[in-house]
A and B are shown apart, each in its own frame.
Chain A
Amino acid sequence: MNNILNQIGIENYIFLSILLFCIGVFGVLYRRNAIIVFMSIEIMLNAVNLLFVAFSTYHQDAKGQVFVFFSMAVAAAEVAVGLALLVSVFRNIGSVDISNLKNLKG
């Protein structure tokens, strides 16, 4: 198993994860389209999953990989709910631009 990490060092996985995560964060912060915001969140989630798997291999411990399966299952459920919400929002407002969703203003 070690040979995979020998070919590409663990630090590369970490950098990739950080990069993916930051892309996600900035996507969430800068984009106005709710679907893209949603996709950015998924990217962040997958960045973390990647890190999990990498460390799991590094530590020779399968727990991390099991955790990722759970995480993916939850993410799938979350996507289903989130997309349903977006569809509903679009039906009501006619747009998925988050700057239009201001009805909950205090």
Chain B
Amino acid sequence: MDNSLVLLLLLTPFVGFLFNVFFGKKAGKTISGAIGTLAVAVSFVMSVYFFMQLNTSGKPIAVTLFDWIQIGKLQINFGILLDQLSLLWLLFVTGIGSLIHLYSISYMHDDENMHKFFAYLNLFVFFMITLVVGSNLLVMFIGWEGVGLCSYLLIGFWYKNQDYNDAAKKAFIMNRIGDLGFLIGIFILAYTFNTLDFLNLGHSITQFHNLPIPNGVDAWPLLSIAALCLFIGATGKSAQLPLYTWLPDAMAGPTPVSALIHAATMVTAGIFMITRMNFLFDVTPEVQNIIAIVGAITALVAASIGLLQNDIKKVLAYSTVSQLGLMFLALGLGAYNVAVFHVITHAFFKACLFLGSGSVIHALHGEQDMRKMGGLRKAMPITFATMLISTLAIAGIFPFAGFWSKDEILMTAFEHNKVLWIVGSIASIMTAFYMFRLMYLTFFRDFRGTEEQKHHLHESPSLITLPLIILAGLATVGGLINLPKPIGNGWLNHFLEPILATKHKEESIFEGNALMLMAIALTGAIIGIIWAYSKYIKQGFVPKEDAEIVGFSKTIYNKYYVDEVYTALIVKPINALSNFFRTTLEPALGNVIYGFGSAANGLSNLGKSLQTGSIGLYLFAFVIGVLALVSYLFLAQ
């Protein structure tokens, strides 16, 4: 029973994908969209079912579909593991996925390739589910690569624009760099433990931990390297320094894609993976330190870039990078449950923000520059209200979801390292500022676009606003799942306990220090909001044209020239090398090869002239040859 239900959960989106690939065009846009949405909704229902089952029984569901690879002692099954962690991820991946599919029916309705869009989205959900439910690292890797592929396909969905194709390629290549790290990490673990199964690995590493010198070989450095490699994989997928540059460019894809893949689900895969492997990271504290530092720096850098971006989706993209940085900060401090909490709340409000920005872009017929927006509040009340709620949530205003989760991250940071706390807090203040800057520029004061656009301003249809309302609702109450004591009972913390190797001593308690930290965080957020208010509402400041930006702002506006640095340091040398190979090495090698060819050709031409076709001559040569042989034999004796 469970087996077939698990397969239903896993394969329905794939069936949706197949349908949309083969019959989508014939079926028409509405049916294609409906099937795509239904396929994901079925998975969501199954996730809820398994979640209920887990909640009552408390036992994870493990299913082995088939034996996959057996080499020597290494055995890998194609197994599925539905435990607390994977079910949480499943719930929000398929839940938010369904909402975004629903939204896309309306949003993509004018696109001629709508069936293709839904096919890719379904395929993405399928791979994301594979990633999440895999019971070992290799199954996870299939999903990991698959979502990367779908991300590539969807970023370049409007393939007629060369810039979009370039963005897609950039995302793919950046991810590939990280994936190489991930793969090496997998190899090291397979080599060391002869298994890739999460449960066995956890068991082995915990045992390993207790032995002073395992098997007479000092394998500890190997474990650290493995952890570091896995983290490199995570930086690629989850857009952390130094591999984050693909995510802002990935905004070239349609907005629902940005919401689903590049905000709510795929980019959290790195966090999922590290949480899955928490037993490994717990025993490699030096790697944890690196994770915390990288996370904090990413949060700060991305937030500061977000301050001055004018493209509404770019602001959200940098905000995503920054929030992911905060999650990594929590991971690095060993607070996996806190990171997961923030992943979930972030998925709610960031999906809502992206879908809201999509609604705005839809209303403005593709305009993404906030300098040409403004005053949309009256024309689009629902979009405005839902986005405002999500903005409050991401800024960390009480009592919205983001307040609770971000606050827990900052609190954890405060307990471990004050510097990290300060960095995180500054990033949070910046977040509050740029998010309200976005709101003020988009929805307040007067409309700055063309007259024609103004004439056509309208609220989006209900298929677009419905997901917005649901997500805004979740962004409001999402914090409930993990309220600190004594107001709540930290449900998520308890729920996640079975999958964490190290139990956390400190419960987040709502008193003393914690209360003060909350107050500080709240004040910081409000300062950010007031700062934005005074600049963009009171003074009515509108960001300048690109050419007029000077000084340090220009550096930030141009994203610290990171792309340019990468181009100069990596892309250009590689291009130069390829060019050298193409213009010098290849012809040189080619000439050698051709040399052999033409030498053989010349020799055969020479030999050809012997073959005159005169049988008399052949016979003569034959007799001479025999004579020569015979006389040689005589002489040799």
**Is A106's beta carbon under 8 Å from chain B?**
yes
**Is A5's beta carbon under 8 Å from chain B?**
no
Picked from B607, B610, B612, the residue with its CB within 8 Å of the CB of A102 is: B612
> A33 to nearest B CB, angstroms?
11
**Is A103's beta carbon under 8 Å from chain B?**
yes
**Is A101's beta carbon under 8 Å from chain B?**
yes
**Is A20's beta carbon under 8 Å from chain B?**
no
User: Which stretch, A24-32, A50-58, A79-87, touches the partner chain B?
Assistant: A24-32
Bound together, the chains give a CA A98 to CA B615 distance in angstroms of 6
Do residues A106 and B608 form an inter-chain contact, with CB atoms below 8 A? yes
**Is A91's beta carbon under 8 Å from chain B?**
no
Restricting to B572-614, which residues have a CB under 8 Å from any CB of A? 607-614
Bound together, the chains give a CA A101 to CA B617 distance in angstroms of 12
**Is A4's beta carbon under 8 Å from chain B?**
no
**Is A104's beta carbon under 8 Å from chain B?**
yes
**Is A99's beta carbon under 8 Å from chain B?**
yes
**Is B633's beta carbon under 8 Å from chain A?**
no
Contacts of A29 in B (CB 8 A): 616, 619-620, 623
Bound together, the chains give a CA A105 to CA B619 distance in angstroms of 15
Bound together, the chains give a CA A105 to CA B328 distance in angstroms of 80
Do residues A104 and B616 form an inter-chain contact, with CB atoms below 8 A? no
Do residues A101 and B615 form an inter-chain contact, with CB atoms below 8 A? yes
**With contacts A25-B623, A28-B623, A29-B623 known, is A99 near B616, CB below 8 A?**
yes
Do residues B614 and A102 form an inter-chain contact, with CB atoms below 8 A? yes
Contacts of B610 in A (CB 8 A): 106
Return the chain A residue nearest B626 by Cβ.
Answer: A25
Kindly supply a per-residue 1/0 record for chain A positions 59-82, scoring 1 wherever the CB is within 8 Å of any chain B CB and 0 otherwise.
000000000000000000000000
Contacts of A98 in B (CB 8 A): 615-616
Do residues B623 and A102 form an inter-chain contact, with CB atoms below 8 A? no
> A60 to nearest B CB, angstroms?
26
> A88 to nearest B CB, angstroms?
15
> A11 to nearest B CB, angstroms?
19
Do residues A102 and B613 form an inter-chain contact, with CB atoms below 8 A? yes
> B613 to nearest A CB, angstroms?
3
Picked from A25, A28, A37, A99, the residue with its CB within 8 Å of the CB of B614 is: A99
The residue in A32, A37, A105 that gathers the most chain B C-beta atoms within 10 A of its C-beta is A105
Instruction: Please report the total number of B residues contacting A with Cβ < 8 Å.
Output: 13
Picked from B608, B609, B612, B619, the residue with its CB within 8 Å of the CB of A28 is: B619
> B621 to nearest A CB, angstroms?
11
Restricting to B282-302, which residues have a CB under 8 Å from any CB of A? none
Contacts of B607 in A (CB 8 A): 106
Do residues A103 and B613 form an inter-chain contact, with CB atoms below 8 A? yes
Contacts of A101 in B (CB 8 A): 613, 615
Bound together, the chains give a CA A30 to CA B336 distance in angstroms of 101
> B602 to nearest A CB, angstroms?
15
Contacts of A103 in B (CB 8 A): 613
Bound together, the chains give a CA A104 to CA B610 distance in angstroms of 12
Do residues B616 and A106 form an inter-chain contact, with CB atoms below 8 A? no
Bound together, the chains give a CA A32 to CA B620 distance in angstroms of 12
> A100 to nearest B CB, angstroms?
9
Contacts of A25 in B (CB 8 A): 623
Contacts of B619 in A (CB 8 A): 28-29, 37
Contacts of B614 in A (CB 8 A): 99, 102
Contacts of B608 in A (CB 8 A): 106
Restricting to A9-40, which residues have a CB under 8 Å from any CB of B? 25, 28-29, 32, 37
Do residues B611 and A105 form an inter-chain contact, with CB atoms below 8 A? yes
Do residues B620 and A104 form an inter-chain contact, with CB atoms below 8 A? no
Bound together, the chains give a CA A37 to CA B607 distance in angstroms of 27
Bound together, the chains give a CA A32 to CA B614 distance in angstroms of 11
Do residues B616 and A105 form an inter-chain contact, with CB atoms below 8 A? no
Kindly supply a per-residue 1/0 record for chain B positions 402-413, scoring 1 wherever the CB is within 8 Å of any chain A CB and 0 otherwise.
000000000000
Return the chain B residue nearest A106 by Cβ.
Answer: B611
> A44 to nearest B CB, angstroms?
10
Bound together, the chains give a CA A29 to CA B620 distance in angstroms of 6
Bound together, the chains give a CA A29 to CA B608 distance in angstroms of 23
Bound together, the chains give a CA A25 to CA B624 distance in angstroms of 11
Bound together, the chains give a CA A32 to CA B623 distance in angstroms of 16
Return the chain B residue nearest A98 by Cβ.
Answer: B615
Do residues A106 and B623 form an inter-chain contact, with CB atoms below 8 A? no
Return the chain B residue nearest A31 by Cβ.
Answer: B616
Bound together, the chains give a CA A93 to CA B616 distance in angstroms of 17
Bound together, the chains give a CA A47 to CA B186 distance in angstroms of 80
Do residues A104 and B613 form an inter-chain contact, with CB atoms below 8 A? yes
Return the chain B residue nearest A32 by Cβ.
Answer: B616
The residue in A99, A104, A106 that gathers the most chain B C-beta atoms within 10 A of its C-beta is A106
Do residues A106 and B615 form an inter-chain contact, with CB atoms below 8 A? no
Contacts of A28 in B (CB 8 A): 619, 623
Bound together, the chains give a CA A67 to CA B623 distance in angstroms of 24
Contacts of B611 in A (CB 8 A): 104-106
Known: A32-B616, A37-B619, A105-B611. 19 other contacts (CB 8 A): A25-B623, A28-B623, A29-B620, A29-B623, A99-B614, A99-B615, A101-B613, A102-B612, A102-B613, A102-B614, A103-B613, A104-B611, A104-B613, A105-B612, A105-B613, A106-B607, A106-B608, A106-B609, A106-B611
Identify the A interface with B (CB < 8 A). Answer: 25, 28-29, 32, 37, 98-99, 101-106
Task: Rank and list the top 9 A-B pairs by shortest CB-CB distance, nearest first.
Answer: A106-B611, A105-B613, A102-B613, A98-B615, A106-B608, A104-B613, A28-B619, A101-B615, A29-B620
Q: List 8 A-B contacts (CB under 8 A).
A: A25-B623, A28-B619, A29-B616, A29-B620, A101-B615, A102-B612, A102-B614, A106-B608
